[in-house]
Each structure stands twice: as structure tokens, then as C-alpha cells.
Amino acid sequence: MSASGHERASRHVTGDALYVHDLAVRDPATLHAWPVQSVHAHARVTAIDGGDALRMPGVRALLTARDVPGAKTIGPVRHDEPLFPDEVCYHGQPVAWVLADGESQARAAAARVRVAYEVLPAVLSIQAAIAADSFLTEPQAIVAGDPDAALGAASHRLAGELHVGGQEHFYLEMQCAWVHRDATGGFVVHSSTQHPAETQATVAHVLDVPAHRVVCESLRMGGAFGGKESQANLFAAIAALGCHVTGRPVVVRLDRRRDMTITGKRHPFFARYEVGFDGDGRLQALVVELCSDGGYSLDLSNAILGRALFHIDNCYRVPHLRVRGRVARTHLPSNTAMRGFGGPQAMVVVEEVVDRVARTLGLPPEVVRQRNFYRPGDRTHYGQQVRDAERIDRIWRELLATSDYASRRAAIDAWNTAHPHAKRGLAITPVKFGISFTTTALNQAGALVLVYRDGSVQVNHGGTEMGQGLHSKVLAIAVRTLGVAPQQVRMMPTRTDKVPNTSATAASSGSDLNGEAVRRACDELRGRLLPVAAAMLGCADDEVGITDGVVRGGGRELPFAEVVERAYQQRSPLFATGYYATPGIHFDAAAGRGEPFRYFAWGAAVAEVEVDGFTGAHRLRAVDILHDVGDSLAPAIDRGQIEGGFLQGMGWLTCEQVVFGADGALRSRGASTYKLPGVGECPPRFVVNMLSRATEPGAVFGSKAVGEPPLMLAIAVREALRDAVAAFGGGGPVALACPSVPETVFWAIQAVRRAPAATAAAADDQRPRSCR
């Protein structure tokens, strides 16, 4: 293992690291499940005829609602997702499931199940949902100051709207669950889930058994990105039901097309805004209305909208602000958590607003951004003090200097003058991201650490490993706290029979919560071992040091295992639990006030792009990032999260496009029709630095969460594209659709080319009197 790289990396590289499907295919008794999917976006199911399918070779069962002993609907917040719907609510929704000896047999049989439908009208866009008054939630709002009066008093006003696109998770490992019975009649659920406790609870509800009859294990995931926070539950429930009905192990493993058509994505948002500002670009009032597309069921949409409301300020102080939002209900797959959880969509909106303010005034966007930053002592629109507010200004200045921003700006302007058919753009954007689950109760975690008499250690905690390196970070915490060598510690698969009632590994909180719980358990064990060691070494407790498996004190040293054995002989317990609940956080949703976050993660990115004027095709030339991870627990892993989060955000904003047809069927349903960032999209220059002097006193060993915040650094690419598009015109604001795929960039270029010269004249004036 490298000093701070991924635990078990060598097993991955030799193919030895097993995922759920790899386990399932090794058991020949396993039955394979395949869904029968709806061919309408909205319809009543009037009949299901599985006669032909059941006569096909290898077919063992057709699962329908009649087979369910317990709850027939599931859902993480509201139980509004029927396992076997009478009324299908999106194109591709599973209606029934076929079980067969082989996957190809199940697949062939599923195609022979005849389903009769009575087609109903479908709502397929946010706009259509608004028109039809189709919503999943009541409105949420946060208000600071008197935005209406401040808008009226502002010397400058702008209004606009923006549609922000969704994003397919495209975790490379599709949704997968494998369920078998154990020797005592319990159900063992191997699930690719970020939330084993909820998967366990869902299976128990569906089978109508107590939770203690179900053990859920999440060994590792081949990526998740939020897509397996709630949406793994359906597939585990179907596998468990199949196991209950047939008595055989059952695996549900979707192929890419089924995964993409059945599961939800990042929420698209529609935003309307009005902003008031002064002649220097200082924001005075902002009113934003957000409407997200929740899809057919609630899932986590309300909390996702909530995080959007919290992040509409990004790094900017807006004294009078009202943000209001609501979740639309459409006949599309139920949209769900994805890295950033609503924060990115809101931040794209406010960056659009700030850029438009700057370009309207003819000011450099980076100047207007910096001018509006929070200052020490400021509070957010929900009343939380912005601790470390000076940090964004420090990051900004350092990054402008290290990226050589000013001279690159001048070089790009010169290059653009010389190239009429291609333009380069440059932008810098900031990130402030609140860390904690905004549902306060979720901010708790548990751990169970076992020390054996040979000095080896098992570490259990409630967090799941999806590639983010949580187990590596927790391993580092255990090693540091207990003083053992890394090879003495075994990170155990996440199981609900080791730590119960855990929260999802989500909200970037995995290492903050589980790491601190493990640290506390290890600290307790260390506290029990120190007096034993001190007696053995003939020194005082506080003179004992334990590092790398060696116990030192009084000028002597002992192997860790000898101290452990002595503690055993003295009848000292060699296991401990650890528990952590984030202190000091609270939020009153009705008042829209509170301190929902433990701290903020900060960062900024500079992006440089080149855009082709004939096609809108674009290329990312260079990226410079300065990001705040506190005192890094594992620098290689944190750097990987920054790089990977940035690329995923760049994909969302510049090449990935979720496309549904007029019939509500997903058109972008594979790697060939949904463009993911590949090697070709990696910028040739990609400089990532972590902020120095950034110790976070509120988290384990001074570290900070890093999973989500870097995704929003990629907004710099969108703003750089806008900057390049602007260079094709004469100045002034630039409308740019989101995502900014080549086609939309092309149309943006066409629009600025056609823009009246008056816009350019106004921009040259620097201070237009009126902007509306």
C-alpha cells in the first residue's frame, strides 16, 4: 500500500477485489432476476400474463404484487414507490420480475411477459408540471432582510431564468443485490448500497420480518456518487423477495440500459431570478425561485431542494435575499442524490447571476466575484455565522497568483484578436460548501473495534466504501490512535450486524462521522492498554508511547501484542464501541434559521478553454485548483477526490446530457449515447493544490470533508466557456444553456454574433444607467 493511497489497492489491480456480482456468479444455485419494464410513461396496468414466460427453459418464477408478504411500497422518506405498480409512473418502471437459472434465460422470458396497459396522460417536464400544478412537496423558503424593498431601491436590476440539466451517475458497477438465507433462517443481503441500514430496513418491511432477521453487507461499491444512497433498496428488496419465494439465492444485477432507464439522476432545476446591485457590482438584493424535477416519487428530493436553498449564496454576501423552491412531480424516473445534493445546481445559478452582473457593467467577472465575498463576521441568509470567511479571499489571491491569471488573461485576449474563428476563455470561480447532513438527526455514527490476543485488530464502522477511500482514511485514524502498524489492522466489510442504525455514507460526511467514532473507540482501547503497558515497562502511564506496533516507555520497548496479552490475562475488555454525534448543529425549517453545518469547505478553480466558432466544440486547456481539505488525513486520496470531483462536475456542465423522448423514454441510455469525460477530456495542465494552514478544529484530526465540494469547482469551466463565447461578440451578457455541450455553445455563439452593437457600446461605457 502506498503511504496514503487506497487500502487494498493491489487487490483491485489484480482483479481480486470482489464486488457483489462477482460473489453471486460463484454460487451456481443463484437465480437471476430480470425486470419487465413499462413501455409507457403513465398508464394503468390492467393485466399481466406470464404464462408463456413461465414455460420457458430455466424460468422459476414471475414475481408480482401477490408474492409480497409485507410492505408493498418503499421509499426513504415517503413510502410512495410501489414494488409492483398498478399504475406505472415512468417509462421503464419495473412492473414484474422474472427469476430464472441463468441471466439470459431470465432476460428472454421477461420479453415474453405480456402486460396490458390503459395509457394515461403524462407530465414530462418541469414546465409542464408547473402548468399542471403537479408537485411532490409544499414550497420551502429562506428569507433574509427585505428583498422586495431592496430590489426596488437598487440602482441596477436584472431578471432572468436558467434551466440546469440533470446528470446520470454512471457508477461503473450497476445496481446489484444478492440475497441468500443463512443457517438460522435469516436473510443475508449483499448489496451495492451506500446505506446498508436502510436497505436492511426496506428488506425487513417488504418481507414483514423484524430487522434482526436481516443482515445487510456492503463489501465495496464500484462507484455510487449518491445513486446508491436510496435507490439500491428496490433491487435488494426484489432479490430478498425472490429468495423468500423460491428458497434459493437470488441476484438482481441490472445491465447498463436497465440501470439507466430505471434509476433516477441528479435533479434538473429551473430557476427564475431577479437581482439588484450597485454600479460597482455589489449585490444588494436577490430573489430566486427554484423548481426541481423530482420525477415520479419523493425519494430524497425535499432535502436536495433544501441544500439548494442553503447554497444559493455560494461565497457571496447578499444582504437581502429570498430563495423559494418546490419539487415538481413528473412521469420520469425518481431523481435522487448525486454528489453535491442540490448545492451544485444552486451555485450554477448564482454564478450565472454574478457573471451577468459583471458583464452588464463591463467589469471583469473575477473582480465582481471577489467584491461580493463574505467577510469575517458575516452571516448567511439562514443566519449561520460564516466561520473562516477570510479563507476564500486568501484562496482567491493565492490562486490568481499561482495560476498567473493576469498574464494569461492578456495572452488570451491577444490570441483571440488574432483568431476570428476560435476563441479562448478564462474564468475563476469560488466554492463554499456546508458540511453536515442538513437533516440534523443523520449526523451520527458508530464503530466497533476488536483487538485479538495476537495484537491484530478488526475495525468495523457504519460507513461504506465506494472508491472514495473512506476505509483508507479510517485505517489511518485507527493506526494513529491505537499506535499499531497498518498491517495489524483489518478493515471489515460494512455490516448491519456490527454497527446498527447507521446513516448513509453521503453528504461528504463519511470520514468526519465514522472516522471520529473509530477514533473514540480506539482511544478507549488505548486508555485501557496504557496502564497495563506502564506496569510492564515500569514507568508512568503518560510516559508510554505506542507507535507502529511497538510500545515504548522507561527506556524499554515491547511488542503491542505482549501488552494486549497481558491486558487479556488481567481481564481487561479488548473491544470497544465508539459513537459520535456532530455537536452544535441545528436548523428550524419553519423559520429558515439555524446552524445546519459544522463548517464550510472552501476552494476555487481557474479554467481555460478553447471554443471552435464553426461547431461550438470545446476543449479544456488548463485547470488550476486550490482547495481546502483542512489537515488532510490522506493527501493522495484527497487529491484524487479533488481531481475526480472536478472531472465529474465538468462532465455534468459540458458534455453529459440526459435526453428523454416525447414518449418519456430515456434516449441517452448507454455509454455510446451519454458522453462521459474520457481521457481526451482531461486537461493537459491540471494543477491541484491543497490550502495550507487550514486546520479544522471541528473534525477528526483537523481534517475536512472532500467528497462533494470539488465537484463545484468545475463551474469555472462553464464560466470559461461563457468567456470564450463572449469573445465572439461585442461584449455584454452571454446566455449559455446548461449543460454547455457543443451544440448549445454553438447557438450561444450565434446569439452573441447577432447581438446588437448597442450592447457593446453600453459595455464600453462601463456604467450603464439602467439595465432593464
Partner 1 sequence: MTVPTDPPRGVSRRSFLKGSAIAGIATTGLTAAAAAPREAQSFGPGEHEISLSVNGTARKLTVETRTTLLDALRNRLDLTGAKQICDRGSCGGCTVLLDGQPVNSCLLLALDAVGHAVTTVESLGTGDTPHPLVQSFVACDALQCGYCTPGMVMSSLACLQQRGQPTREQMRRDLSGNLCRCGTYGRIFAAIERTAQGGGK
Q: Which residues pair with 666 in a beta bridge?
A: 660
101 binding partner 1? (CB under 8 A): no
Distance CA 406, CA 613 (A): 25
The Cα-based distances of 268 to 109, 414, 540, 669 in angstroms read 35, 38, 62, 17
Q: In this structure, are residues 284 and 277 in contact, taking their beta carbons and an 8 Å threshold? A: yes
266 binds partner 1 (CB under 8 A): no
Cβ-based nearer residue to partner 1, 434 or 469: 469
Write the CA distances from 297 to 48, 400, 700, integer angstroms: 23, 44, 36
413 touches partner 1 by CB under 8 A? no
**Are the CB atoms for 443 and 582 separated by under 8 Å?**
yes
Bridge partners of residue 595, in order along the sequence: 586
Nearest CB to partner 1, comparing residues 21 and 369: 21
Q: Least distance (Å) from partner 1 to the CB of residue 641?
A: 8
Q: Which of 390, 708, 719, 743 is catalytic?
A: 708
Query: How far apart are alpha carbons 607 and 623 in whole angstroms?
Result: 5
User: Is residue 206 within a helix (H) or strand (E), and if so which, with residue range?
Assistant: helix 196-207
> In the set 81, 173, 516, 696, which binds partner 1 (CB under 8 A)?
173
Among 50, 165, 463, 677, binds partner 1 (CB under 8 A): 677
Give the binding range for partner 1 (CB under 8 A) out of 278-286, 570-578, 591-599, 675-683.
Answer: 675-683
Smallest separation, CB 402 to partner 1 (Å): 19
Q: How far apart are CA 45 and CA 364, in angstroms?
A: 57
595 is catalytic: no
| Total chain residues near partner 1 (CB under 8 A) | 57
Interface mask toward partner 1 for 590-629; x: CB under 8 A? ----------------------------------------
The one segment of 436-444, 463-471, 605-613, 625-633 that binds partner 1 by CB under 8 A:
463-471
Q: Which of 84, 97, 171, 597 binds partner 1 (CB under 8 A)?
A: 171
Q: How far is the CB of 221 from partner 1 (least distance, A)?
A: 6
Give yes or no for a contact between 292 and 165, defined as CB atoms under 8 angstroms apart.
no
Q: Taking contact as CB under 8 A, which single stretch among the options 72-80, 249-257, 324-332, 546-554 is the one that binds partner 1? A: 249-257
DSSP assignment of 270-327, as one string? EEEEEEEE-TT--EEEEEEEEEEE--SS-TTHHHHHHHHHHTTTTTB--SEEEEEEEE
425535499: which residue's cell? 302
Nearer to partner 1 (CB atom), residue 32 or residue 317: 32
**Cα 30 → chain centroid:** 32
Using the contact rule CB under 8 A, the part of the chain among 15-23, 390-398, 540-548, 561-569 near partner 1 is 15-23
672 scored as a contact of partner 1 (CB under 8 A):
yes
Name the one range near partner 1 by CB under 8 A: 220-228, 270-278, 409-417, 747-755.
220-228
Q: Is 242 in the site for partner 1 (CB under 8 A)?
A: no
255 binds partner 1 (CB under 8 A): yes
Would you count residue 1 as binding partner 1 (CB under 8 A)? Answer: yes
Asked if residue 466 binds partner 1 (CB under 8 A), the reply is yes
Q: Is 407 in the site for partner 1 (CB under 8 A)?
A: no
φ and ψ at 434, to 5 degrees?
Answer: -80, 135
Q: Measured from the CB of residue 9, what is the shortest distance to partner 1 in angstroms?
A: 4
652 lies in the site for partner 1, by CB under 8 A = no
Classify 612 as helix, strand or coil. strand
The residue range among 254-262, 439-447, 580-588, 614-622 that interacts with partner 1, by the rule CB under 8 A, is 254-262
Cβ–Cβ contacts within 10 Å for residue 706, how many?
A: 32
Other Cβ atoms closer than 10 A to 46: 10
On whether the CB atoms of residues 652 and 268 are closer than 8 A, the answer is no
Residue from 87, 523, 643, 743 binding partner 1 (CB under 8 A)? 643
**Cα→Cα distances 162→38, 175, 347, Å:** 32, 32, 12
Euclidean distance between CA atoms 488 and 481, whole angstroms: 13
| Cell numbers that stand for 288 in this block | 430566486
Q: Which of 686, 689, 737, 742 binds partner 1 (CB under 8 A)?
A: 686
The residue range among 143-151, 218-226, 305-313, 345-353 that interacts with partner 1, by the rule CB under 8 A, is 218-226
Q: Is 221 in the site for partner 1 (CB under 8 A)?
A: yes
Q: At 13, is the secondary structure helix, strand, or coil?
A: helix
* Residue 21 or 311 with smaller CB distance to partner 1: 21
For residues 706 and 435, what is the distance between their CA atoms, to the nearest angstrom?
A: 9
29 lies in the site for partner 1, by CB under 8 A: no
Residue closer to partner 1 by CB (options 223, 493) is 223
Grid coordinates standing for 167? 446528470
Residue 467 touching partner 1 (CB under 8 A): yes
Measured from the CB of residue 344, what is the shortest distance to partner 1 in angstroms? 16
Residues in CB range of 85: below 8 A, 6 or more apart: 38, 45, 93, 95
In the complex with partner 1, which residue's Cβ is closer, 227 or 325? 227
Q: Which stretch binds partner 1 (CB under 8 A): 18-26, 48-56, 87-95, 728-736?
A: 18-26
Relative to beta strand 156-164, strand 73-74 is unpaired
Cα of 684 vs its chain's centroid, Å:
26
d(CA 585, CA 691): 25
Q: Which is nearer to partner 1, 14 or 770 (CB)?
A: 14
Looking at the chain, how many residues does it have? Answer: 772
Of the candidate residues 678, 695, 756, 767, the single one contacting partner 1 (CB under 8 A) = 678
What interhelical angle do 301-310 and 343-361 show, nearest 10?
30
Active-site residue set: 708
Binding residues for partner 1 (CB under 8 A): 1-2, 4-6, 9-10, 12-19, 21-22, 25-26, 104, 170-174, 220-225, 255-257, 466-469, 636-637, 640, 643-648, 670-672, 676-680, 682, 686
